[in-house]
Chains A and B, each alone.
Chain A
Protein backbone atom coordinates (compact mmCIF):
# COMPACT_ATOMS: atom_id res chain seq x y z
CA UNK A 1 0.00 0.00 0.00
CA UNK A 2 1.40 3.45 -0.85
CA UNK A 3 0.30 4.83 2.55
CA UNK A 4 3.01 4.27 5.16
CA UNK A 5 2.26 4.42 8.87
CA UNK A 6 5.09 6.04 10.83
CA UNK A 7 3.63 5.35 14.22
CA UNK A 8 6.77 3.53 15.33
CA UNK A 9 8.88 6.61 14.63
CA UNK A 10 6.51 8.90 16.54
CA UNK A 11 6.37 6.49 19.47
CA UNK A 12 10.17 6.41 19.59
CA UNK A 13 10.31 10.23 19.42
CA UNK A 14 7.86 10.57 22.27
CA UNK A 15 9.51 7.66 24.13
CA UNK A 16 6.16 6.00 24.56
CA UNK A 17 5.37 2.29 24.54
CA UNK A 18 2.74 0.80 22.25
CA UNK A 19 0.89 -0.62 25.23
CA UNK A 20 0.63 2.80 26.86
CA UNK A 21 -0.61 4.44 23.65
CA UNK A 22 -3.19 1.70 23.17
CA UNK A 23 -4.45 2.31 26.71
CA UNK A 24 -4.63 6.10 26.23
CA UNK A 25 -6.50 5.98 22.92
CA UNK A 26 -8.72 3.09 24.00
CA UNK A 27 -7.90 0.38 21.45
CA UNK A 28 -6.42 -3.06 21.92
CA UNK A 29 -2.68 -3.65 21.54
CA UNK A 30 -3.53 -6.14 18.79
CA UNK A 31 -5.31 -3.41 16.80
CA UNK A 32 -2.47 -0.99 17.39
CA UNK A 33 -0.06 -3.63 16.14
CA UNK A 34 -2.19 -4.02 12.96
CA UNK A 35 -1.99 -0.25 12.49
CA UNK A 36 1.77 -0.15 13.08
CA UNK A 37 2.46 -3.03 10.70
CA UNK A 38 0.52 -1.33 7.91
CA UNK A 39 -1.99 -4.16 7.65
CA UNK A 40 -4.91 -1.88 8.51
CA UNK A 41 -7.30 -1.10 5.65
CA UNK A 42 -8.65 2.13 7.16
CA UNK A 43 -8.24 4.43 10.15
CA UNK A 44 -11.22 6.14 11.78
CA UNK A 45 -10.94 9.92 12.22
CA UNK A 46 -11.71 9.41 15.92
CA UNK A 47 -8.72 7.01 16.26
CA UNK A 48 -6.46 9.39 14.33
CA UNK A 49 -7.61 12.27 16.51
CA UNK A 50 -6.89 10.27 19.67
CA UNK A 51 -3.42 9.27 18.42
CA UNK A 52 -2.54 12.86 17.46
CA UNK A 53 -3.76 14.09 20.85
CA UNK A 54 -1.79 11.43 22.75
CA UNK A 55 1.43 11.94 20.77
CA UNK A 56 0.94 15.69 20.35
CA UNK A 57 1.50 15.55 16.61
CA UNK A 58 -0.21 16.08 13.24
CA UNK A 59 -1.77 13.32 11.07
CA UNK A 60 1.00 13.92 8.54
CA UNK A 61 3.55 12.89 11.19
CA UNK A 62 1.91 9.46 11.34
CA UNK A 63 0.76 8.90 7.76
CA UNK A 64 2.89 9.29 4.68
CA UNK A 65 2.17 8.78 0.99
CA UNK A 66 4.80 7.25 -1.30
CA UNK A 67 4.62 6.20 -4.96
CA UNK A 68 4.53 2.44 -5.41
Chain B
Protein backbone atom coordinates (compact mmCIF):
# COMPACT_ATOMS: atom_id res chain seq x y z
CA UNK B 1 0.00 0.00 0.00
CA UNK B 2 2.84 2.36 0.88
CA UNK B 3 4.38 1.93 -2.58
CA UNK B 4 1.03 2.69 -4.19
CA UNK B 5 0.60 5.86 -2.14
CA UNK B 6 4.08 6.94 -3.21
CA UNK B 7 3.12 6.51 -6.89
CA UNK B 8 -0.23 8.26 -6.31
CA UNK B 9 1.54 11.16 -4.55
CA UNK B 10 3.92 11.58 -7.50
CA UNK B 11 0.99 11.48 -9.98
CA UNK B 12 -0.93 14.04 -7.87
CA UNK B 13 2.10 16.36 -7.82
CA UNK B 14 2.43 15.99 -11.62
CA UNK B 15 -1.28 16.79 -12.12
CA UNK B 16 -1.04 19.78 -9.76
CA UNK B 17 2.06 21.19 -11.42
CA UNK B 18 0.65 20.81 -14.93
CA UNK B 19 -2.71 22.32 -13.89
CA UNK B 20 -0.97 25.29 -12.23
CA UNK B 21 1.31 25.85 -15.23
CA UNK B 22 -1.65 25.73 -17.66
CA UNK B 23 -3.56 28.21 -15.48
CA UNK B 24 -0.58 30.57 -15.18
CA UNK B 25 -0.04 30.40 -18.93
CA UNK B 26 -3.73 31.18 -19.58
CA UNK B 27 -3.61 34.13 -17.16
CA UNK B 28 -0.46 35.43 -18.86
CA UNK B 29 -2.07 35.17 -22.31
CA UNK B 30 -5.24 36.79 -21.02
CA UNK B 31 -3.30 39.73 -19.57
CA UNK B 32 -0.98 40.24 -22.49
CA UNK B 33 -3.42 39.93 -25.32
CA UNK B 34 -7.03 40.46 -24.32
CA UNK B 35 -6.49 43.00 -21.58
CA UNK B 36 -4.18 45.09 -23.78
CA UNK B 37 -6.81 45.06 -26.54
CA UNK B 38 -9.40 46.15 -24.03
CA UNK B 39 -7.34 49.03 -22.64
CA UNK B 40 -6.67 50.27 -26.18
CA UNK B 41 -10.35 50.04 -26.95
CA UNK B 42 -11.28 51.78 -23.67
CA UNK B 43 -9.01 54.72 -24.54
CA UNK B 44 -10.78 55.18 -27.86
CA UNK B 45 -14.31 54.62 -26.49
CA UNK B 46 -16.90 57.37 -26.53
CA UNK B 47 -16.92 58.86 -22.99
CA UNK B 48 -20.35 60.45 -23.51
CA UNK B 49 -22.14 57.06 -23.63
CA UNK B 50 -24.17 56.18 -20.55
CA UNK B 51 -22.13 53.82 -18.35
CA UNK B 52 -24.50 50.92 -17.84
CA UNK B 53 -25.62 50.34 -21.42
CA UNK B 54 -22.35 51.30 -22.99
CA UNK B 55 -20.16 48.81 -24.75
CA UNK B 56 -17.54 49.82 -22.24
CA UNK B 57 -19.51 48.28 -19.38
CA UNK B 58 -20.23 45.17 -21.41
CA UNK B 59 -16.55 44.76 -22.19
CA UNK B 60 -15.68 45.29 -18.54
CA UNK B 61 -18.20 42.60 -17.57
CA UNK B 62 -16.61 40.22 -20.05
CA UNK B 63 -13.13 40.72 -18.60
CA UNK B 64 -14.38 40.60 -15.02
CA UNK B 65 -16.22 37.32 -15.65
CA UNK B 66 -13.21 35.86 -17.43
CA UNK B 67 -11.09 36.76 -14.39
CA UNK B 68 -13.60 35.10 -12.05
CA UNK B 69 -13.43 31.95 -14.20
CA UNK B 70 -9.65 31.96 -13.61
CA UNK B 71 -10.30 32.22 -9.89
CA UNK B 72 -12.59 29.19 -10.04
CA UNK B 73 -10.03 27.24 -12.02
CA UNK B 74 -7.51 28.02 -9.28
CA UNK B 75 -10.08 26.85 -6.72
CA UNK B 76 -10.40 23.56 -8.62
CA UNK B 77 -6.63 23.09 -8.44
CA UNK B 78 -6.92 23.75 -4.70
CA UNK B 79 -9.31 20.75 -4.59
CA UNK B 80 -6.69 18.56 -6.28
CA UNK B 81 -4.20 19.78 -3.68
CA UNK B 82 -6.33 18.13 -0.97
CA UNK B 83 -5.43 14.70 -2.36
CA UNK B 84 -1.94 15.16 -0.91
CA UNK B 85 -2.90 15.34 2.81
CA UNK B 86 -5.29 12.40 2.23
CA UNK B 87 -2.44 10.35 0.77
CA UNK B 88 -0.20 11.45 3.68
CA UNK B 89 -2.80 10.20 6.17
CA UNK B 90 -3.08 6.88 4.31
CA UNK B 91 0.70 6.57 4.36
CA UNK B 92 0.62 7.01 8.15
CA UNK B 93 -2.01 4.26 8.36
CA UNK B 94 -4.84 6.60 9.44
CA UNK B 95 -7.32 5.45 6.83
CA UNK B 96 -10.50 6.59 8.54
CA UNK B 97 -9.28 9.77 10.21
CA UNK B 98 -11.36 12.91 10.71
CA UNK B 99 -8.96 14.74 8.40
CA UNK B 100 -9.72 12.37 5.50
CA UNK B 101 -13.46 12.77 6.01
CA UNK B 102 -13.07 16.57 6.10
CA UNK B 103 -10.94 16.63 2.93
CA UNK B 104 -13.30 14.33 1.02
CA UNK B 105 -16.19 16.65 1.85
CA UNK B 106 -14.13 19.69 0.88
CA UNK B 107 -13.17 18.17 -2.48
CA UNK B 108 -16.81 17.25 -3.14
CA UNK B 109 -17.85 20.79 -2.25
CA UNK B 110 -15.28 22.40 -4.52
CA UNK B 111 -16.11 20.13 -7.50
CA UNK B 112 -19.83 20.90 -7.27
CA UNK B 113 -19.39 24.64 -6.66
CA UNK B 114 -16.86 24.92 -9.45
CA UNK B 115 -19.23 23.33 -11.97
CA UNK B 116 -22.24 25.37 -10.89
CA UNK B 117 -20.31 28.65 -10.85
CA UNK B 118 -18.58 28.08 -14.17
CA UNK B 119 -21.97 27.20 -15.75
CA UNK B 120 -23.45 30.44 -14.37
CA UNK B 121 -20.44 32.48 -15.52
CA UNK B 122 -20.57 30.96 -19.01
CA UNK B 123 -24.25 31.82 -19.16
CA UNK B 124 -23.42 35.40 -18.15
CA UNK B 125 -20.69 35.53 -20.79
CA UNK B 126 -23.19 34.35 -23.38
CA UNK B 127 -25.78 36.89 -22.21
CA UNK B 128 -23.36 39.78 -22.74
CA UNK B 129 -22.89 38.50 -26.27
CA UNK B 130 -19.30 37.33 -26.13
CA UNK B 131 -20.08 33.66 -26.70
CA UNK B 132 -22.98 31.29 -27.26
CA UNK B 133 -24.61 29.34 -24.45
CA UNK B 134 -26.57 26.12 -24.86
CA UNK B 135 -27.30 24.47 -21.52
CA UNK B 136 -27.32 20.92 -22.91
CA UNK B 137 -24.22 21.64 -24.91
CA UNK B 138 -22.52 22.86 -21.72
CA UNK B 139 -23.56 19.66 -19.96
CA UNK B 140 -21.61 17.71 -22.56
CA UNK B 141 -18.44 19.50 -21.53
CA UNK B 142 -15.95 17.49 -19.58
CA UNK B 143 -16.10 19.65 -16.49
CA UNK B 144 -19.75 18.75 -15.92
CA UNK B 145 -18.57 15.29 -14.89
CA UNK B 146 -17.25 17.02 -11.80
CA UNK B 147 -20.79 17.07 -10.33
CA UNK B 148 -21.04 13.24 -10.15
CA UNK B 149 -17.40 13.24 -8.99
CA UNK B 150 -18.26 15.72 -6.24
CA UNK B 151 -21.22 13.60 -5.19
CA UNK B 152 -18.97 10.53 -5.18
CA UNK B 153 -16.62 12.32 -2.79
CA UNK B 154 -19.55 13.24 -0.54
CA UNK B 155 -20.62 9.57 -0.51
CA UNK B 156 -17.03 8.54 0.19
CA UNK B 157 -16.93 10.98 3.13
CA UNK B 158 -20.12 9.43 4.53
CA UNK B 159 -18.73 5.90 4.07
CA UNK B 160 -15.50 6.91 5.83
CA UNK B 161 -17.51 8.50 8.64
CA UNK B 162 -19.37 5.21 9.19
CA UNK B 163 -16.15 3.23 8.85
CA UNK B 164 -14.51 5.41 11.50
CA UNK B 165 -17.43 4.76 13.83
CA UNK B 166 -17.19 1.01 13.25
CA UNK B 167 -13.45 1.12 13.79
CA UNK B 168 -13.94 2.89 17.13
CA UNK B 169 -16.62 0.35 18.11
CA UNK B 170 -14.28 -2.47 17.17
CA UNK B 171 -11.47 -0.95 19.20
CA UNK B 172 -13.79 -0.65 22.21
CA UNK B 173 -14.92 -4.27 21.97
CA UNK B 174 -13.11 -6.21 24.66
Chain A positions within 8 Å of B, measured between CB atoms, are: 27, 31-32, 34-35, 39-44, 47
Contacts of A35 in B (CB 8 A): 174
A47 contact from B168, B169, B174, Cβ within 8 A: B174
| Interface bin, chain B | under 10
- Give Cα distance in the complex from A47 to B172, angstroms: 13
12 additional A-B pairs beyond A41-B173, A44-B173, beta carbons within 8 Å, are A31-B174, A34-B172, A34-B174, A40-B173, A40-B174, A42-B169, A42-B172, A42-B173, A42-B174, A43-B173, A43-B174, A47-B174
Give B168's nearest chain A residue, CB to CB.
A41
- Give Cα distance in the complex from A35 to B169, angstroms: 13
Identify which of residues 133-174 in chain B touch chain A, using a CB-to-CB cut-off of 8 Å: 168-169, 172-174
Question: What secondary structure prevails in chain B residues at the interface with A?
Answer: mixed
- Give Cα distance in the complex from A5 to B168, angstroms: 20
- Give Cα distance in the complex from A34 to B174, angstroms: 8
Give B173's nearest chain A residue, CB to CB.
A42
Give A39's nearest chain B residue, CB to CB.
B172
- Give Cα distance in the complex from A32 to B173, angstroms: 11
- Give Cα distance in the complex from A28 to B172, angstroms: 13
Of the listed residues B168, B172, B173, B174, the one surrounded by the most CB atoms of chain A closer than 10 A to its CB is: B174
User: Shortest distance in angstroms between A28's beta carbon and chain B's nearest beta carbon?
Assistant: 10
- Give Cα distance in the complex from A47 to B173, angstroms: 10
Please, could you name 19 A-B residue pairs with CB atoms under 8 Å apart, sorted by A? A27-B174, A31-B174, A32-B174, A34-B172, A34-B174, A35-B174, A40-B172, A40-B173, A41-B169, A41-B172, A41-B173, A42-B169, A42-B172, A42-B173, A42-B174, A43-B174, A44-B173, A44-B174, A47-B174
Give A32's nearest chain B residue, CB to CB.
B174
User: Shortest distance in angstroms between A62's beta carbon and chain B's nearest beta carbon?
Assistant: 12
